Amino acid sequence: MSYAYLFKYIIIGDTGVGKSCLLLQFTDKRFQPVHDLTIGVEFGARMITIDGKQIKLQIWDTAGQEAFRSITRSYYRGAAGALLVYDITRRETFNHLTTWLEDARQHSNSNMVIMLIGNKSDLDSRREVKREEGEAFAREHGLVFMETSAKTAANVEEAFINTAKEIYEKIQEGVFDINNEANGIKIGPQHSPTSPGGLAGTGGQGGAQGGGCC
């Protein structure tokens, strides 16, 4: 499948907040009530359309457990977007957001779009974190906010697509250097006159043609 842009996402947040379920709902449109603990990271992908352009999302779902923290940090640098997830029925997952955010800001590139997500909105009776609190936190830290339910699929599409829209706008504004792959953005094969070459730091080595179509 051809695409205009490719965005790399990561999903982060405490263990058990529903990161893997969000991804499964987004890629496979199904919900699995019992999900094994994620080991390290798992990969998922889907195509979306923004502004009439095909955009491929490559999503790395990270393990929330503390033990994997050092591994999952390796994924911050190359991501264009991050979904920071907490569980609205567990106050402590909300309290840990600051730590997550610090971690993300420290290891990612400064332009990474972060979307704050309060998951499990279907469990309103057991709610411990008010919607307003999430909104306030997002406002304070300059994040986009949304409450979702991986179970009912409410807002799941929107969460992923709105993040992509934000990134897309930043590209249009010229904030992102799309030729630097470390930003987590790639131009589709037919959209770039030459395939994106090596990294800037290592100096000029040209001619790295990805022998794609011809």
Binding site for another protein (CB under 8 A): 1, 8, 39-45, 56, 58, 60, 70-71, 73-75, 77-78, 107, 181, 195, 198-199, 201-205, 207-212
Distance CA 97, CA 141 (A): 11
Task: Name residue 153's amino acid.
Answer: A
Minimum CB distance to another protein smaller for 78 or for 91: 78
DSSP 8-state assignment for residue 110:
T
DSSP 8-state assignment for residue 40:
S
Burial state string for 130-166 with b = 16 or more CB within 10 A and e = fewer than 16: eeeebbebbeeeebbbbbbbbbebbbbeebbbbbbbb
β-strands 113-119, 53-62: how paired? unpaired
Q: How far is the CB of 159 from another protein (least distance, A)?
A: 20
Q: How far is the CB of 185 from another protein (least distance, A)?
A: 12
Burial of 123 (0-12, 13-18, 19+ CB in 10 A): middle
Q: How far is the CB of 89 from another protein (least distance, A)?
A: 29
Minimum CB distance to another protein smaller for 36 or for 132: 36
Minimum CB distance to another protein smaller for 68 or for 165: 68
Q: How far is the CB of 199 from another protein (least distance, A)?
A: 5
Distance CA 184, CA 200 (A): 15
Q: How far is the CB of 177 from another protein (least distance, A)?
A: 15
Minimum CB distance to another protein smaller for 8 or for 151: 8
SS3 117: strand
Distance CA 29, CA 43 (A): 15
Q: How far is the CB of 147 from another protein (least distance, A)?
A: 28
Distance CA 181, CA 8 (A): 10
Minimum CB distance to another protein smaller for 8 or for 170: 8
Minimum CB distance to another protein smaller for 73 or for 141: 73
